[in-house]
C-alpha cells in the first residue's frame, strides 16, 4: 500500500491500495418494482432493508463482470473494462514499471496477456490493453460531478487477491486533495477533487470500481488511510477514489493520443524534494531541476533555490506545493517566494503552465 498525506488531515496517512502478494438523487436507495405494501408480518423497515439488499445484488451482478484482476511481477491490483477493444483503466501504481501484465476476468480463471498503453503518473492513472478482448464487458461510467455526500456506494475489486470482493459505504466527502509520497511503486501523485468514501478499501482494490446503486462507476478506488497512532495500521472508513469524470477524460486522451494531452492542471515546471531544516522540520522545496521555458524558468527560479510559499501559502513540502498548485488553472499568475542559494529571499511572479503527461 502507498502512504500519502491528506491535505485535510495532517495526522492521517494514506496508502495506495495495490498489493505485493446507481444512486438516486440524495442517496436514497431505489424501491424495487412490485414491492408489496407493508403488513404486520412485513413491517416497513424490513421491506426497506430487503429493497436495499436487492439493489446491492442487482448492481453487483451488473458491474462485477467489468472488474478485472491485474497481476505484475511485483504485485496485483484491479482494473475496470473501459471498452470492447480491450482497454482497461487502472492506477499507475498498480502497473509500476511494468510494460506487460496479466489480466484475469471476473468470469474466468484463465489469465490474459495485456500491454501497458500509458501511465499518467502525476494523476496515478493508467490504461492497459488486453491482447485478446473477446468477452470483455465494459462498465457504465457515471457523472461524478453530480455526486452527493451521503450516497450509498459499493467498492469492487480484488483486495488481498480475493477476486470479486465487494464492500459498501457512503460518499463521506467530495473535493478532497490527497498526495502520495514518492516511493516505489507509488508515483507520488497528487489527486485533486478526490471522492472520500467509508467503503472499505484494502490492498488490491486499487484501480477497481466505486459504484453507485444505479450500477454506474463513479470513481476509481486509489488510496486508503492508515493511522500513525495505530503504528501505520488501517484507519477504518477513510478511503479515496479518483472521480470518474477525471478517469474517463484522461483515459480517452491516452487511448486516442498515446498520452495525456490536456491534464487541466497547473504546473510550475520544477522538480525537487522536501528540504529538512536545522530543527528537523520541513522548510521548503529544494529545486533540483527547472523545465526549460516553463513557468519557473521564465520567472527566474533556478536549481538550488528553495520554494517556501505560493501566494502567501506556505509550501514546506513537495506535497504541499503540489496540493497548492491544484487550486489554480494553467495561465494563472502566482507569487512565488524563494530563498536563493546565497540565503537571500525573493518573490517572483510566475504564469503557471500545464502539467504534462509523461
pLDDT tens digits, one per residue of 289-299: 999 999 999 99
Instruction: Report yes or no: 352 and 330 within 8 Å, Cβ to Cβ.
Output: yes
- Among residues 66, 93, 165, 198, the one annotated as catalytic is 93
Task: Give the number of domains in the chain.
Answer: 2
- Among residues 55, 66, 87, 124, the one annotated as catalytic is 124
Domain with 348, as residue range(s), is 266-354
| pLDDT digit string, tens, across residues 210-255 | 999 999 999 999 998 877 776 666 678 999 999 999 999 999 999 9
- Pair (109, 84) in one structural domain: yes
| pLDDT digit string, tens, across residues 162-172 | 999 999 999 99
Query: 244: closest CA among 219, 271, 270?
Result: 219
C-alpha distance from residue 171 to each of 64, 148, 151, 347 (Å): 20, 7, 5, 40
- Look up the CATH number of the domain holding residue 348: 2.30.42.10
Of the pLDDT bands very low, low, confident and very high (cuts 50, 70, 90), residue 106 is: confident
Instruction: Report yes or no: 67 and 78 within 8 Å, Cβ to Cβ.
Output: yes
- Pair (169, 217) in one structural domain: yes
- Pair (280, 202) in one structural domain: no
Q: Is residue 72 part of a domain?
A: yes
Instruction: Report yes or no: 154 and 59 within 8 Å, Cβ to Cβ.
Output: yes
Instruction: Report yes or no: 205 and 155 within 8 Å, Cβ to Cβ.
Output: yes
Q: What is the pLDDT of residue 19?
A: 53
Domain boundary among 259, 274, 295: 259
| Choice among 35-44, 68-77, 210-219, 346-355 with the minimum mean pLDDT | 35-44
C-alpha distance from residue 49 to each of 34, 43, 129, 175 (Å): 15, 10, 40, 30
- Pair (112, 183) in one structural domain: yes
Average pLDDT over residues 335-357: 94
Q: Is residue 343 part of a domain?
A: yes
Look at residue 39 and tell me whether its pLDDT is greater than 90.
Answer: no
| Choice among 2-16, 51-65, 69-83 with the minimum mean pLDDT | 2-16
Of the pLDDT bands very low, low, confident and very high (cuts 50, 70, 90), residue 137 is: very high
- Pair (100, 175) in one structural domain: yes
- Pair (155, 287) in one structural domain: no
Q: What percent of the chain has pLDDT over 90?
A: 73
Instruction: Report yes or no: 1 and 203 within 8 Å, Cβ to Cβ.
Output: yes
Q: Is residue 43 part of a domain?
A: no
Helix (H) or strand (E) holding 299: helix 295-299
Look at residue 23 and tell me whether its pLDDT is greater than 80.
Answer: no
Q: What is the pLDDT of residue 224?
A: 86
Q: Is residue 33 part of a domain?
A: no
Q: Would you call 124 a catalytic residue per the annotation?
A: yes
Query: 267: closest CA among 182, 358, 179, 351?
Result: 351
Tabulate helix, strand, coil % of the chain (nearest 5).
20, 40, 40
- Pair (202, 283) in one structural domain: no
- Pair (230, 333) in one structural domain: no
Q: What is the pLDDT of residue 4?
A: 40
Query: 348: closest CA among 286, 298, 304?
Result: 298
Q: Is residue 42 part of a domain?
A: no
Q: What is the pLDDT of residue 6?
A: 37
- Summary mean pLDDT of the chain: 87
- Pair (137, 234) in one structural domain: yes
Task: Give DSSP secondary structure letters for 50-103.
Answer: HHHHHHHHHHHHHHGGGEEEEE-SS-EEEEEE--TTSEEEE-HHHHTT-SEEEE
Q: What is the pLDDT of residue 50?
A: 86
Instruction: Report yes or no: 91 and 207 within 8 Å, Cβ to Cβ.
Output: yes
Burial of 330 (0-12, 13-18, 19+ CB in 10 A): middle
- Pair (129, 188) in one structural domain: yes
Rounded Cα distance, 271 and 29, in Å: 47
Q: Is residue 36 part of a domain?
A: no
Instruction: Report yes or no: 148 and 202 within 8 Å, Cβ to Cβ.
Output: no
- Pair (10, 83) in one structural domain: yes
The 8-class DSSP code of residue 39 comes to -
Average pLDDT over residues 302-310: 97
Domain boundary among 241, 259, 277: 259
- Pair (122, 7) in one structural domain: yes
- Among residues 66, 198, 206, 244, the one annotated as catalytic is 206
- Look up the CATH number of the domain holding residue 113: 2.40.10.120
Residue 157 φ then ψ, to 5°: 180, -150
Domain boundary among 240, 259, 278: 259
Q: Is residue 31 part of a domain?
A: no
Amino acid at each position: 500500500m502507498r502512504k500519502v498525506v491528506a491535505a485535510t488531515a495532517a495526522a492521517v496517512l494514506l496508502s495506495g491500495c495495490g498489493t505485493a502478494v446507481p444512486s438516486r438523487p440524495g442517496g436514497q436507495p431505489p424501491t424495487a418494482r412490485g414491492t408489496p405494501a407493508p403488513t404486520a408480518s412485513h413491517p416497513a423497515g424490513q421491506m426497506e432493508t430487503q429493497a436495499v439488499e436487492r439493489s446491492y445484488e442487482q448492481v453487483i451482478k451488473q458491474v462485477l463482470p467489468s472488474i478485472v484482476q491485474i497481476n505484475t511481477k511485483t504485485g496485483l491490483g484491479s482494473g475496470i473494462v473501459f471498452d470492447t477493444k480491450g482497454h482497461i483503466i487502472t492506477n499507475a501504481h498498480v502497473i509500476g514499471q511494468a510494460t506487460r501484465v496479466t489480466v484475469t476476468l471476473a468470469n474466468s480463471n484463465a489469465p490474459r496477456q495485456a500491454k501497458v498503453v500509458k501511465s499518467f503518473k502525476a494523476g496515478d492513472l493508467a490504461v492497459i490493453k488486453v491482447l485478446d478482448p473477446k468477452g470483455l464487458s465494459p462498465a457504465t461510467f457515471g457523472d461524478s460531478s453530480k455526486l452527493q455526500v451521503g450516497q450509498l456506494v459499493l467498492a469492487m475489486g480484488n483486495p488481498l487477491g480475493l477476486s470479486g470482493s465487494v464492500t459498501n459505504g457512503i460518499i463521506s466527502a467530495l473535493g478532497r486533495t490527497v498526495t502520495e509520497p514518492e516511493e516505489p511503486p507509488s508515483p507520488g501523485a497528487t489527486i485533486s477533487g478526490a471522492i472520500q468514501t467509508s467503503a472499505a478499501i484494502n490492498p488490491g482494490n486499487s484501480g477497481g470500481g466505486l459504484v453507485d446503486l444505479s450500477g454506474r462507476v463513479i470513481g476509481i478506488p486509489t488510496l486508503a488511510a492508515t493511522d500513525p497512532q495505530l503504528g501505520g495500521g488501517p484507519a477504518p472508513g477513510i478511503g479515496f477514489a479518483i472521480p470518474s469524470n477525471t478517469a474517463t477524460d484522461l483515459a480517452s486522451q491516452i487511448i486516442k493520443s498515446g498520452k495525456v494531452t490536456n491534464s487541466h492542471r497547473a504546473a510550475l515546471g520544477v522538480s525537487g524534494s522536501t528540504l529538512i531544516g536545522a530543527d528537523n522540520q520541513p522548510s521548503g522545496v529544494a529545486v533540483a531541476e527547472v523545465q526549460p521555458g516553463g513557468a519557473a524558468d521564465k520567472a527566474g527560479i533556478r536549481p538550488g533555490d528553495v520554494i517556501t510559499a505560493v501566494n502567501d501559502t506556505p509550501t514546506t513540502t513537495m506535497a504541499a506545493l503540489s496540493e497548492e498548485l491544484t487550486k489554480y488553472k494553467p495561465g494563472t499568475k502566482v507569487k512565488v517566494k524563494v530563498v536563493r542559494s546565497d540565503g537571500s529571499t525573493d518573490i517572483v511572479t510566475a504564469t503557471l503552465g500545464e502539467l504534462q503527461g509523461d
